[in-house]
């Protein structure tokens, strides 16, 4: 978990319980700090799962997009707090919009999903690897290694750096990652006291959105390298899900939409995934994972 995420949850529990903050460095944290690629979502969660299971901590805070679709059965998703805006943002130097970037502009991202959609919209851009945490990527932009970088809006918001964004990118241009903007708080399934405490942080709409998006991802059986995107929204008890699978170079794209009552979130996600598979999504995912 990031320190900003942990502090958010700690503040949210003020008055309900005394919370001791325990920082657990994960394999994903170390790889990200070193600028190395992340091969498996579990790199961000494994050490936290182990700390939960052996009793060193009582609950763990994750970015939902970093949580594998399969978690240890001894753990339960205790809460999904109110979701941050899930969209991506462009930070450009000098400050300008995506449309205003000149042909050949160097855009940095570590995400195959973002790269595919950026190239689909602007094949004239040069999309380059930009790894590391938010501070590192923005620093490299300032150094002139890139003309722009694309990051999650939620990450900037939690670091109070939103004013640095040049543009919030519409989902019609770049569909977000599965679970982007949402937090996932896990606890031991048999720890009733902690589960009941954390229930106060759970937001029903955000949980349903996460369920639909993660069901989509599970159905597609896509890994970290596959350019898969999805965004669910709950409005007035109904859930809509926009999903997409892309070729790595952005030359091919499959999009689907599913909807229904919010309590049917899992089946809505499965439906969108099955539609994409029927249209050939597996071949795009396989090409990305080679």
Retrieve residue 258's tokens: 């599913």
* Alpha-carbon distance values, 191 to 24, 75, 150 (Å): 20, 9, 39
Contact status, residue 11 vs residue 58, Cβ threshold 8 Å = no
* Alpha-carbon distance values, 163 to 23, 141, 145, 147, 157 (Å): 28, 15, 21, 18, 9
Pair type for strands 183-188 and 228-235: unpaired
Residues found in the chain: 290
Tally helices (H) and strands (E) across the chain: 10, 11
Residue 46 sits at φ, ψ, to 5 deg, of -55, -50
Q: How does DSSP assign 127-141, residue by residue?
A: EEE--S-HHHHHHHH
Q: What are the residues whose beta carbons fall under 8 Å from the beta carbon of 155, sequence distance 6 or more? A: 134
- Report the half-sphere exposure of 152 (CA within 13 A, side-chain side): 23
Closest by Cα among 104, 88, 78 to 150: 88
Q: Is the dihedral of CA 214, 219, 225, 227 positive or negative?
A: negative
Catalytic residue among 43, 49, 58, 66: 66
**104: DSSP letter:** T
Distance of CA 191 to the CA centre of its chain: 27
Alpha-carbon Rg for the chain, nearest whole angstrom, is 19
Q: Is 66 a catalytic residue?
A: yes
Q: Which residues are catalytic?
A: 66
């Amino acid at each position: 978990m990031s320190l900003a995420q942990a502090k958010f949850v700690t503040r949210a529990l003020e008055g309900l319980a005394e919370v001791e903050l325990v920082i657990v460095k994960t394999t994903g944290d170390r790889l990200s700090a070193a600028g190395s690629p992340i091969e498996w979502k579990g790199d961000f969660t494994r050490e936290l799962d182990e700390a939960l299971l052996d009793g060193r901590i009582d609950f763990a805070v994750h970015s939902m997009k970093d949580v594998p679709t399969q978690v240890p059965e001894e753990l339960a998703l205790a809460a999904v707090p109110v979701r941050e805006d899930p969209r991506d943002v462009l930070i450009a130097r000098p400050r300008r919009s995506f449309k205003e970037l000149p042909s050949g502009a160097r855009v940095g991202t570590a995400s195959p999903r973002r790269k595919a959609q950026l190239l689909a919209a602007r094949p004239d851009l040069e999309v380059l690897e930009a790894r590391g945490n938010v501070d590192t990527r923005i620093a490299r932009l300032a150094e002139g290694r890139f003309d722009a970088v694309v990051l999650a809006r939620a990450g900037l918001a939690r670091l109070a750096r939103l004013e640095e964004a040049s543009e919030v990118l519409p989902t019609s241009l770049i569909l977000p990652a599965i679970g982007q903007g949402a937090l996932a708080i896990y606890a031991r399934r048999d720890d009733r006291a902690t589960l009941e405490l954390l229930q106060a942080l759970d937001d029903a709409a955000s949980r349903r959105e996460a369920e639909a998006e993660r069901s989509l991802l599970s159905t597609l059986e896509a890994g970290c390298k596959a350019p898969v995107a999805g965004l669910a929204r709950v409005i007035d008890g109904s859930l809509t899900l926009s999903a997409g699978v892309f070729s790595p170079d952005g030359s091919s794209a499959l999009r689907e939409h599913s909807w229904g009552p919010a309590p049917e979130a899992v089946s809505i996600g499965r439906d969108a995934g099955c539609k994409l598979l029927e249209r050939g999504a597996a071949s795009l995912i396989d090409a990305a994972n080679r």
